[in-house]
A and B are shown apart, each in its own frame.
Chain A
Amino acid sequence: MQRRNFLKNVGVALAASAVIPAVSFAGGTGKDANKMSYKTALSAITGGKTPKASAKVHLKAPEIAENGAVVPVTVNVDSPMTANDYVKAIHILNTKNGNARTIDVFLTPANGKAMFSTRIKLGGTQDVVALVELSNGDYLIASQSVKVTIGGCG
């Protein structure tokens, strides 16, 4: 009786230890693999192409953010948004959060206007960057420095 119980318990213990948690509490390797530095994010998106600074990209973000948890960001790009000439994507990046990637917005001519607006978290003073992909394969870029007094990432 004792031997049977012992073996049963060992069996249960072995089965339990064989289960690998999908999400680790300490933000283990699985999640860290998604976090990119600004340079890595830039080349991951452009495939190594150099983005051109352009006055066509209008990036609006506050110079001083009262609250780093809620920083409004708006990107407007001058574009006819026709089937032959449109903005394919607006990527918003940051330079000093744990992950430089904030959001990737994929547009189509059905949007009519190349614009995207949202509110983001900034952990501290840094640049917010708008990286724009055009239908002809070109990348445009604009950045805005944002001073953050109270960091917004917790």
Chain B
Amino acid sequence: MEARKSLIKIKPKRYKNGDVVKVSFMVMHPMETGSRKDKKTKKLIPAKYINSVKFNYNGKEITTMKVWESLSVNPVFTTYMKVDGKGKLKVTYTDNTGEVNEKSKKIKPKG
């Protein structure tokens, strides 16, 4: 399992239970469509792109995404999330070559 650089950002940084916060997941990934030709060899660069992203909050799958090949390199996925208790937000993502990775962030509501 290759470790990829990724980041989960929550805005605002301070939140209470009941708040709806913005969640961004960013990951370094080439997102090759499979339609691009290597300029030197003239051969098609094989497709390698994230094809699924799942957000799990304290054991509940709150958002899932089916990703096709035209998302930009180093993709960003931004949604919102209702804060409902202390715990963990886990993002699991897979790519079309079978690579599976995950990234977690602690959820710590104040007050």
The chain A residues found within 8 Å of chain B, CB to CB, are 23, 25-27, 31, 34, 69-71, 74, 94, 97-99, 101-113, 115-122, 152-154
Taken together as a complex, chains A and B put the C-alpha atoms of A101 and B66 apart, in Å, by 10
Please tell me if the beta carbons of B68 and A102 are within 8 angstroms of each other in the complex.
yes
Most buried by A among B64, B65, B73: B65
B28 at the binding interface (Cβ < 8 Å): no
Please tell me if the beta carbons of B82 and A110 are within 8 angstroms of each other in the complex.
yes
Contact of B70 among A107, A115, A153 (CB under 8 A): A153
Where chain B touches its partner, the secondary structure class is strand
Contact of A118 among B46, B61, B78 (CB under 8 A): B78
A-B contact list, 25 entries, CB within 8 Å: A27-B44, A27-B47, A31-B47, A70-B72, A74-B78, A98-B35, A104-B65, A105-B64, A106-B64, A107-B63, A108-B61, A110-B62, A110-B84, A111-B80, A112-B20, A113-B20, A116-B78, A117-B79, A118-B72, A118-B75, A118-B77, A119-B71, A120-B71, A121-B72, A153-B36
